Amino acid sequence: MPEATSAPAPSPTENNFCPAGSYGWTPLCLTAMLFFLIGFVTWLNGPLISFVRVSFSLDDISAFLIPLVFYFSYFFFAIPASWVIARTGLKRGLSLALTVMAMGMACTGQFIAAGVYEAALVGLLILGGGLALLQVAVNPYVSFLGPPQKAAQRIAIMGICNKFAGILAPIVLATLVMGDIENVARRAAGMTDAVARSALLSQFVQAIYWPYLGMALLMLLAAGGVALSSLPDLQPPEKAISSSELSHASDTRCTLLSSHVLCGIAAMFLYVGVEVMAGDAIGTYAQGFGLPLSQTRFFTALTLTGMLVGYCLGMVCTPRFCSQERYTLYSCLAGSILSLLAFVGHGYGSVLCIALLGVANAMIFPGLFPTVLKNTGKAAPLVSAFLVMAYCGGGILPQLFVWLKTLFGFQGVFTSLTLCGYALIALYMRRSAT
């Protein structure tokens, strides 16, 4: 449970989520490796948007279907994922998730290389479904590995692994696949012969096939590694329902419909949207100033570097100098200030402020997730699934950005969306702290 009670601590066989003392550091290290994989896969989307925009001659709205489909998979698959985890247990659930992710990664690379954009989006949906299964299990597991007041520290450790992978992902993809993207885009734009133009883009798009196939193979190996690892298999026990538990379904409904949980889900929706805008949309934002593709393809890595710095700062400061709730409020304030500076700035200075949003964003999730789970009792796994569903904000807010920027200007739209997100998250955290 997320908070201490008068009841004795559950044993590994009595609860899905056990404190760190039950299993030691091994589960934490293994889950950190999984978070590395999650980060690498997730943050490929930023440079992939630029890649498909050139390869398939797409506008921004069509190219941003990538994060929309990817993050909406959390909405569709989070609840089914919670059912799967309840039946399979943690270990088999993680292996299954990695296998599904491998299928999605292979399909995405295959269909992009084949020039079928719509089918590639289906591959991303499968990939996101595997990630939903993985996240539904891992996030609450990490939250409950120890005392709730230090949950932000544990999630920050996971975040460091996640964001370090996120730094590498766009650099690797940009180097292996997008090295000549600016030249290809310029040549394709100047061609009048449709056949020659199609041949040029077809040759360019083939470069993505082997990297994605290699990552699919890596995930299959990881799935086998998890299955053979010492990670505890937390299978929920089958037992008769006692008279004191007859009202459990009613209590769960009351918990899910409470303002604390509903507002927390809304806050998570906004946070993931703001995080993805700062990471995946930074290249599109920078191109609004006329910055070249040869530079903007790496800008997602700048934001992720900022998040890595933010996690390190958060680990030092919480809870030693500042509670995780108060630190989250400070993070929202810093994000708001940087958003305003980005609005009044221009060129590289404005883009730098967007990248620095990574520093501000880093510790919002580690503070927000356990805050929403606090006092949810037996409903915690289901609340966790709804929080994962809220990750679809990572698809909706960037899509709103590319829709609205054609009407009101990209700087104003970006700042308006991020300011609204930070303000509402801060209000929720302040209310939860009282």
The CATH number of whichever domain residue 279 belongs to comes to 1.20.1250.20
Range of the domain at 87: 20-234+249-433
CA 64, 69, 70, 74 torsion: positive or negative? positive
Ranges of the chain whose pLDDT falls below 70:
1-24, 90, 137, 139-153, 155-156, 179, 231-257, 377-378, 381, 434
CA 159, 161, 167, 169 torsion: positive or negative? negative
Residues 6 or more apart whose CB falls under 8 angstroms from that of 156 comprise 311, 314, 315, 318, 362, 363, 366
pLDDT digits (tens, 9 = 90+) for 373-412: 777 766 776 787 788 889 899 989 999 999 998 888 899 9
In a domain? residue 95: yes
| Closest listed residue to residue 342, CA positions, set 394, 276, 409 | 409
In a domain? residue 241: no
- Alpha-carbon gap, residue 340 to 226, rounded angstroms: 44
- Alpha-carbon gap, residue 386 to 106, rounded angstroms: 28
Supply the pLDDT for residue 401.
Answer: 92
Supply the pLDDT for residue 355.
Answer: 93
In a domain? residue 1: no
In a domain? residue 60: yes
In a domain? residue 220: yes
pLDDT digits (tens, 9 = 90+) for 51-106: 888 888 888 889 999 989 998 898 888 888 878 877 877 678 888 989 999 999 99
Burial 92-119, CB ≥16 within 10 A → b, else e: bbbbbbbbbbbbbbbbbbbbbbeeebee
Supply the pLDDT for residue 246.
Answer: 39
In a domain? residue 6: no
Total of domains in the chain: 1
Supply the pLDDT for residue 87.
Answer: 81
In a domain? residue 2: no
In a domain? residue 222: yes
Task: Please tell me what DSSP assigns to residue 114.
Answer: T
